[in-house]
């Protein structure tokens, strides 16, 4: 298939969509991002990469980082992790406390805020220290991307923490149910830091290759997680990767994927390729408006889908 | 792969599980079913079928019928259907009114009770008459199964209606929001009838072939729905097919599937095969206890999964 | 105190308020009522009555009838009634199903729709027949008002039933939890009929005298309920009489009272008088806009309040 | 009326009830309290006091302090306070976050935890400093009790803060909605401190006299709040004073009252007397089991009730 041609078509067709949606504005650092931007990259197992748009421009990966921390937690823990975080779609907004209260402080899945904070907490419990944990997370992301210079944006992390009352509320509520092990503000700070990692679509697409190929990066040949766990991570991306629009995404796009409020979306075509797309304006569910449409166009044009 | 051997292994391994769970007891007709039963059948595109257990014993397909009525509705309607029924996991019990009230009478998806009743209502609106609608549904199921004698159990349907207050409540609530077009009791009665269809695992597995193969039955070569709609039905099965345990099922099994409280589960391995399993005792989410485990064993043993 | 002067003042002051709010429009029969109407009547224990405005114009008493059916149920039942209906404010809209589902089909109090329907159901269970029940209700209202000609509006009752899907949903949901004893449509029809009783403020004020005076009408000297039960009915009026604005009403007015979507409100000053007010335009909680303000003015001007 | 005789009767009759219920155990400091204790005191406007039981034994007043902080806030603020805290019964548990999220961070009333924390926050905003605020609260309680030595229990306050995650979650959630002005941990600490005030039933009964008599203590002749505001505080006590059992309390007791998890309840008979009762074992709603029953016996025996 002529992937470059397909990406070029999508790029042309997506232009009118760049006017719609709204850049995340809950923190100043994200609100400043210029709205009409778009990039898309796909990576094949031989290392070939196809891109359109601003594919070298880094953005805040935000919730996409939750895929990486969940992977790290699955490396360390097995069944005991399910006592702390489920793998079920929530049917609620990503930052809602309602279900968390009804369900005794056990977050529905690792991709809503509460679940991701609980995962961060579980990592800190293992590595004993939040700085060590951050180091492990950063090293992991550098390893899977084969890119030693990736880092996070201190200003975004700090800004996120300043406006982080909802996340602190989620953590406190979990703690009140006994589902929290470390210091609340320090843990939430660490969560804000890994959400503030900046990557471009080339780097993100590259980083997802191990998940698109059963846990082993087909380019570096390094294994990061077992095949069965890689499948499970893909399953959670499919059912929970787009907050309360995950069903819609599965229906219209049909690929395991994870979005972030920075406007990025990563997707896998298991056994075939990994994809990253970025456009900062969000739809009402908090997912990239143009990014979602671009992926739908991609699966329609290529017939690629897991279904 | 030696599928018969795999099924035989599963059959042996599943025996201890048949003691667990509880047969549906909300209506007398279902409560009488003997608990320790099990059957599993898979059908390949060349028509080969592998079975273990009571694969010729018919049972009440219940919510599995929702896959078929949703398919019929997708044949008739396109975008206007989404105004009446969504495609999002609910995060709630299958018969809950809570979310339906909060979301103005629009059911989350076609596989929870409210959604399936709305789908039945949309079919009656098109076919003008509930008997004609039932005839169309029955004929469709006979066509996809290549089996002209399939029918439904009058006693189960009647019993379901007698204890059908919750379903009537869901329908009335939708009507109060303007999301209901036909007579409430007649529509719910029709819903009860298609839920009372009886099939065995061989018949069910056969009936799902068109969905496992992009809308066209590879054996009869008949096309029942477009490839893109077939993919979407599979997507909804994956995200919503097991009520509020759909995420768990995707995580542990990794196949699009739909369960019914009669103890049946159908699953597709897109492009490869369709599977039906039956064991009447249910887990706490209302899905077949042994059936779920059998499918997990199957994907573990075969490596088949969409992820 | 010069009550006539106070009523005249209120009448003058309330005029600008008659432009605000919205007449109930969920059924055509109520939507047609002319908005800018106002009446207020108070009755003293010696039989003296003071009125302003259209105090002889009848209107649909709607939920005010729930006070009378609750009184009848308390005559018949004691503790067993609390197993079916509570006496707790709901914190939810008057026709919400959410709490009813969470609380297993037991309505919070007899003044939200579900509770009042359950009360009607309990009356039908006692009187064995819905027509006999309606006769008893009508006779009771004629007795407490010393007015043999009171009746209900057939057109309003029928219209209410036609648009009664929400009430039918509430009844079905209660039935699904085993908290319903009689035929659902017939019971809801009976509920619609007693809601459609028409009275004017003079009649309503008169009818409430027994509740303002410990169960015994000080004018006719007839006892309709024990003193302790009369107090309890007043308590429920205070905590639950204005739907989800009952706290506000207690705070600003400070009297036990019950409102209806026809725009009527009845209130008691225990041991002193009963009051009825009417103005059909409703505030966002479904209570008479001008009626609520008139009562607040009345307690401010007179210092009458239970607190 | 021979109040001493009535109290003595209640004391005798209440003995078997002291075995029921459960002492608050969410913090160690409260869990240690001996269960089978009981005290009751009533104060008349001439200063006469009648008591039974351990009426000089101090206990943690906990949520009863919310009456006093609400009074202070009403002294300082008028309508703007209603933008921050409502006066509506919640229909939910006292520490629930569900409704607070649905209602955009505005607590339903000043007597659930979120509301009381918001009130404390509003006091700190006025007094600029949390220590100054605590001083004002303590001075107010000493003034209304004519008792200069009242204080709070540092151990209880500290313990409450250690187990205070739920309260911190409530505060953070309010802050995330912009309904919080001061430092979260410092404000919640201040809240814990005023909840940890210790008083006995004699002191509490004395302290409530100004609220039983329209804002002016009839013994000291000091006015603490306007008559209309005093009525309103009584109204909120009636509709919201017993968490999600306020309707039950109004129904069975019929007096404005406020309970605390330390086992205390204060009640007013407006214009007649104030009452305090204490027994540490709580019913399932978190209100004193024996205390509630004692008050019901009191109003039954005396006929005192606001209805």
Does position A285 have pLDDT exceeding 90, yes or no?
A: yes
Q: What is the mean pLDDT of residues B240-248?
A: 96
Tell me if residue C125 is catalytic: no
Tokens of A306: 């897991």
Average pLDDT, chain C: 96
Does position A78 have pLDDT exceeding 90, yes or no?
A: no
Tens digit of each residue's pLDDT (9 = 90 or more) over D164-178 = 999 999 999 999 999
Residue D276: other Cβ atoms inside 10 A: 29
Alpha-carbon span B241 to B258, nearest angstrom: 4
User: For residue B93, what pLDDT is reported?
Assistant: 86
CB B67 within 8 A of CB B140: no
Query: Which of B236-245, C12-21, C291-300, D27-36 shows the lowest per-residue confidence on average (mean pLDDT)?
Result: D27-36
User: For residue C61, what pLDDT is reported?
Assistant: 98
Question: Is B90 in a helix, a strand, or coil?
Answer: coil
CB B238 within 8 A of CB B307: no
User: For residue A28, what pLDDT is reported?
Assistant: 87
Tell me if residue A158 is catalytic: no
Tens digit of each residue's pLDDT (9 = 90 or more) over C163-214 = 999 999 999 999 999 999 999 999 999 999 999 999 999 999 999 999 999 9
Chain A CB contacts of D175 under 8 Å are 165
Q: What is the mean pLDDT of residues A9-37?
A: 94
CB B290 within 8 A of CB B51: no
Interface residues of chain D, partner chain C, Cβ below 8 Å: 86-92, 99, 108-109, 228, 230-232, 234-236, 238-240, 244-248, 250-252, 254, 256, 270, 300, 305-307
User: For residue D26, what pLDDT is reported?
Assistant: 87
**Minimal C-alpha gap between D128 and chain C (Å):** 29
Alpha-carbon span A95 to B91, nearest angstrom: 15
Question: What one-character DSSP code corresponds to residue B63?
Answer: G
Does position D128 have pLDDT exceeding 90, yes or no?
A: yes
CB B142 within 8 A of CB B150: yes
Rg of chain C, C-alpha, whole Å: 18
Position of tokens 């204005």?
Answer: C242
Does position A302 have pLDDT exceeding 90, yes or no?
A: yes
Closest CA to A42 of A1, A72, A76: A1
User: For residue B168, what pLDDT is reported?
Assistant: 98
Least CA distance to B110: which residue of chain A? Answer: A247
Alpha-carbon span B237 to D37, nearest angstrom: 60
Query: Which of A13-17, A94-98, A214-218, B204-208 shows the lowest per-residue confidence on average (mean pLDDT)?
Result: A94-98
Tens digit of each residue's pLDDT (9 = 90 or more) over C81-130 = 999 999 999 998 888 999 999 999 999 999 999 999 999 999 999 999 99
Q: What is the mean pLDDT of residues D73-93?
A: 93
Average pLDDT, chain A: 96
| Angle at D199 (CA atoms; ends D196, D201), nearest 5 degrees | 135
Chain D CB contacts of C239 under 8 Å are 89, 238-239, 246-247, 250-251
Q: What is the mean pLDDT of residues D209-224?
A: 98
Subunits with 3+ C-beta pairs closer than 8 A to B: A, C
Q: Provide the pairing of β-strand B281-282 with B273-278.
A: unpaired
Please give the share of chain D, as a percent, with pLDDT higher than 70. Answer: 100
Alpha-carbon span C244 to C254, nearest angstrom: 16
Which residues, 6+ apart, have CB-to-CB distance to A258 below 8 Å? A63, A64, A66, A67, A111, A237, A241, A242, A265, A266
Catalytic residue among D85, D188, D191, D279: D191
Q: For residue A283, is it left (φ>0), alpha (ψ between -120 and 50) or beta?
A: beta
3-state helix, strand, coil in chain A (%, to 5): 50, 15, 35
Does position B120 have pLDDT exceeding 90, yes or no?
A: yes
Position of tokens 């019990």?
Answer: B93
Q: What is the mean pLDDT of residues A16-20?
A: 97
Please give the share of chain C, as a percent, with pLDDT higher than 70. Answer: 100
Contact (CB<8Å) C169/B97 = yes
Tens digit of each residue's pLDDT (9 = 90 or more) over C208-247 = 999 999 999 999 999 999 999 999 999 999 999 999 999 9
Does position B262 have pLDDT exceeding 90, yes or no?
A: yes
Tens digit of each residue's pLDDT (9 = 90 or more) over C135-177 = 999 999 999 999 999 999 999 999 999 999 999 999 999 999 9
Contact (CB<8Å) B97/C175 = no
CB D230 within 8 A of CB D210: yes
Subunits with 3+ C-beta pairs closer than 8 A to A: B, D
Nearest CB to B239; choose among A109, A247, A300: A247
Tokens of C93: 């809209």
D300 exposed, middle or buried (CB, 10 Å; 0-12, 13-18, 19+)?
Answer: middle
Please give the share of chain A, as a percent, with pLDDT higher than 90. Answer: 95
Chain B CB contacts of C184 under 8 Å are 165, 168
User: For residue C40, what pLDDT is reported?
Assistant: 98
User: For residue B94, what pLDDT is reported?
Assistant: 87
Tell me if residue D176 is catalytic: no
Q: Which of D82, D100, D101, D235 to mutate to test the interface with C (most CBs of C within 10 A)?
A: D235
Q: Residue B174: enclosing H or E segment and its boundaries? A: helix B165-176
Average pLDDT, chain D: 96
In chain A, DSSP assigns E strands to 22-23, 39-43, 49-53, 59-60, 151-152, 197-199, 257-259, 264-269, 273-278, 281-282
Domains of chain A by start residue, with CATH: 3-59+200-302 (3.40.710.10), 63-195 (3.40.710.10)
Q: B29: pLDDT confidence band, cut at 50, 70 and 90?
A: confident
Alpha carbon separation from D59 to B2, D149, D272 (Å, rounded)? 75, 15, 25
User: For residue A142, what pLDDT is reported?
Assistant: 97
Position of tokens 């009839």?
Answer: D218
Catalytic residue among C66, C193, C258, C297: C66
Does position B156 have pLDDT exceeding 90, yes or no?
A: yes
Position of tokens 């990966």?
Answer: A61
Tokens of B246: 């759909």
D232 exposed, middle or buried (CB, 10 Å; 0-12, 13-18, 19+)?
Answer: buried
Which residues, 6+ apart, have CB-to-CB distance to D30 below 8 Å? D23, D24, D60, D156, D159, D261, D262
Interface residues of chain C, partner chain D, Cβ below 8 Å: 86-92, 99, 108-109, 228, 230-232, 234-236, 238-240, 244-248, 250-252, 254, 256, 270, 300, 305-307
User: For residue D7, what pLDDT is reported?
Assistant: 98
Nearest CB to B270; choose among A234, A239, A307: A307
Catalytic residue among C159, C243, C269, C297: C243
Tell me if residue A236 is catalytic: no
Does position D79 have pLDDT exceeding 90, yes or no?
A: no
Alpha carbon separation from C20 to C281, C290, D184 (Å, rounded)? 7, 8, 40
Alpha-carbon span D110 to D117, nearest angstrom: 8
| Angle at C169 (CA atoms; ends C165, C173), nearest 5 degrees | 170
Does position A242 have pLDDT exceeding 90, yes or no?
A: yes
């Amino acid at each position: 298939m002529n992937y470059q041609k397909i990406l070029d078509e999508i790029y042309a067709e997506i232009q009118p969509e760049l006017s719609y949606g709204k850049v995340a504005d809950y923190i100043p650092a994200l609100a400043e991002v210029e709205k009409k931007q778009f990039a898309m990259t796909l990576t094949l197992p031989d290392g070939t990469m196809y891109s359109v748009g601003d594919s070298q421009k880094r953005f805040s990966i935000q919730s996409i980082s939750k895929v990486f921390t969940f992977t790290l937690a699955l490396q360390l823990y097995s069944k005991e992790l399910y006592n702390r975080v489920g793998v079920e779609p929530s049917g609620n907004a990503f930052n809602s406390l309602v279900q968390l209260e009804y369900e005794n402080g056990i977050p529905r899945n690792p991709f809503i805020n509460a679940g991701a904070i609980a995962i961060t907490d579980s990592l800190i419990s293992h590595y004993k220290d939040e700085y060590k944990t951050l180091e492990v997370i950063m090293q992991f992301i550098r390893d899977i991307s084969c890119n030693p210079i990736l880092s996070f944006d201190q200003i975004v992390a700090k800004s996120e923490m300043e406006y982080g009352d909802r996340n602190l509320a989620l953590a406190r509520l979990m703690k009140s149910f006994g589902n929290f092990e470390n210091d609340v503000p320090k843990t939430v700070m660490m969560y804000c830091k890994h959400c503030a990692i900046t990557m471009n679509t080339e780097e993100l697409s590259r980083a997802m290759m191990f998940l698109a190929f059963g846990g082993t990066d087909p380019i570096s040949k390094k294994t990061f997680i077992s095949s069965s766990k890689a499948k499970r991570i893909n399953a959670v991306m499919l059912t929970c990767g787009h907050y309360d629009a995950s069903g819609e995404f599965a229906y219209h796009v049909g690929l395991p994927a994870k979005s972030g409020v920075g406007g990025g979306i990563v997707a896998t075509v298991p056994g075939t390729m990994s994809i990253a797309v970025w456009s900062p304006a969000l739809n009402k569910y908090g997912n990239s408006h143009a990014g979602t449409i671009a992926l739908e166009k991609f699966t329609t044009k290529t017939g690629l889908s897991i279904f």
